[in-house]
Amino acid sequence: MSASTTFDFAIIGAGIAGVSLAHALSVLALKQGKSLKIIVLEQESQPGYHATGRSAAMFAPFYGPAPIRALTRASADFFQSPPADFSASPLLSPRGELLIARPDQLPRLEAFVKEMGDSLALKRLSGQALQDLLPFMKPGYACAGVLDESGCDIDVHALLSGFLAQARAQGVEIRTGAGVTGLSRGDSREGNQETSHWRIQTRNAEAPVISARVVVNAAGAWADALGVLAGAETIGLQPKRRSALLVDPPAGQAIGHLPLVIDMDEEFYLKPDAGRLMLSPANEDPEVPCDAQPDELDIAICIDRVQRAFDLPIQRIANKWAGLRSFVADKSPVVGWSQRVEGFFWLAGQGGYGIQSSPALSRYAAALLLGQEPPSDILAEGLVPSDLLPERLTTTT
């Protein structure tokens, strides 16, 4: 693209949200016979460096608020049958997700099953069945469980790489090292026409200024900060740190077949990960947008909670990390046009579910951006568009 190119869409953020949207927009434009100029601007030197590269990589259809569950169900087909040449290996592999409850947590387990409508995909397990499945669980710790057999591991690297490769093949430009530092809207003359566009100031030394008709805010934890740069409303986004660590499994125990095991009150979870166990205290500690690091206290709390439930001696921590899960008040994503500034679109607040919902959420956002009706298969899963609009949130500046 020449220095004077005006892009149709500048997507800010090359996490799963921005990259999946670039893919979905280019696919929809192709279907409509439109040629669109799309650029993704990323402040880091590689896509997926923040939340996207630090997740637990789960596809968990029963996790999250109702809009997320609808988007996750609507994403299942994509994960199971991605487009041709999208990925050399499957995007999903069976894992299962097991909620376990101590006697004092039983009422909450029952309430969860009731809320899910006694779904056939959920299998109840007795305390004995749990003990048989998890021989290193302390005897009598949990008295009941619910197994979601549809829970899977996601190959996040393959997913992100597939979106990136196919978007690039459609002409999308992915520009890294291009942190956006300024956004202003102005008019310019193209032939006989006055058009309105964004002037985007970036840290990229070679091409510091970019022009685009529409800016999409897919900046993850930084989405509210980017909104302020644009003069848009704020959505009350709160990044929350979640930490994780990798440890060796109990000696002599095969773990590869185990599901992700999560405490009923989401106080910890563990799952097999390449021969080791990934543990998390499932913390949600408020943070400012940053390159999140695990706090020593997070790690100590995690080990304490897990060891109350399991005989799991921990000699060595093979790896530890943290990432930011960014939520608005109702924990549902924010997708739609700004009510305050023209040509500014929100794609934020994916919280702890942004990978599993990305195929459907990106198709949904692409339809809105191109002035289409929301995809009917997504609405058929029960998504209510007004549940995602930025104007449902009361925080304004």
Please identify, among the stretches 25-33, 126-134, 137-145, 348-356, the one whose residues bind ligand FAD according to the rule CB under 6 A. Answer: 348-356
β-strand 6-12 against 209-217: which pairing, if any? parallel
Q: Which is nearer to ligand FAD, 65 or 250 (CB)?
A: 65
Find the shortest distance in angstroms from Cβ 132 to ligand FAD.
26
Please identify, among the stretches 25-33, 98-106, 214-222, 306-314, the one whose residues bind ligand FAD according to the rule CB under 6 A. Answer: 214-222
| Interaction of residue 41 with ligand FAD, rule CB under 6 A | yes
| Interaction of residue 197 with ligand FAD, rule CB under 6 A | no
Q: Which is nearer to ligand FAD, 18 or 127 (CB)?
A: 18
How remote is the C-alpha of 160 from its chain's centroid?
Answer: 11
| Interaction of residue 25 with ligand FAD, rule CB under 6 A | no
Residue choice 144, 353, 366, 368 for contact with ligand FAD (CB under 6 A): 353
Q: Kindly identify the residues of this chain, within the stretch 267-326, that bind ligand FAD according to CB under 6 A.
A: 323-325
309: amino acid identity, one letter: A
Q: Which is nearer to ligand FAD, 126 or 397 (CB)?
A: 397
Is residue 387 within 8 A of residue 67, CB to CB? The reply is yes
β-strand 269-273 against 276-280: which pairing, if any? antiparallel
Tokens of 63: 């996790």
Is residue 180 within 8 A of residue 196, CB to CB? The reply is no
Q: Kindly identify the residues of this chain, within the stretch 369-388, that bind ligand FAD according to CB under 6 A.
A: none
Which of 113, 63, 32 lies closest to 357 in space, CA to CA? Answer: 63
| Interaction of residue 100 with ligand FAD, rule CB under 6 A | no
Find the shortest distance in angstroms from Cβ 273 to ligand FAD.
12
| DSSP state at residue 137 | B
Is residue 41 within 8 A of residue 10, CB to CB? The reply is yes
Burial 218-250 (b: 16+ CB within 10 A, else e): bbbbbbbebbebbebbbbbbbbbbbbbbbbbbe
Question: Which residues lie near ligand FAD (CB under 6 A)?
Answer: 12-18, 41-44, 49-52, 54-58, 179-180, 218-222, 226, 242, 244, 323-325, 350-356
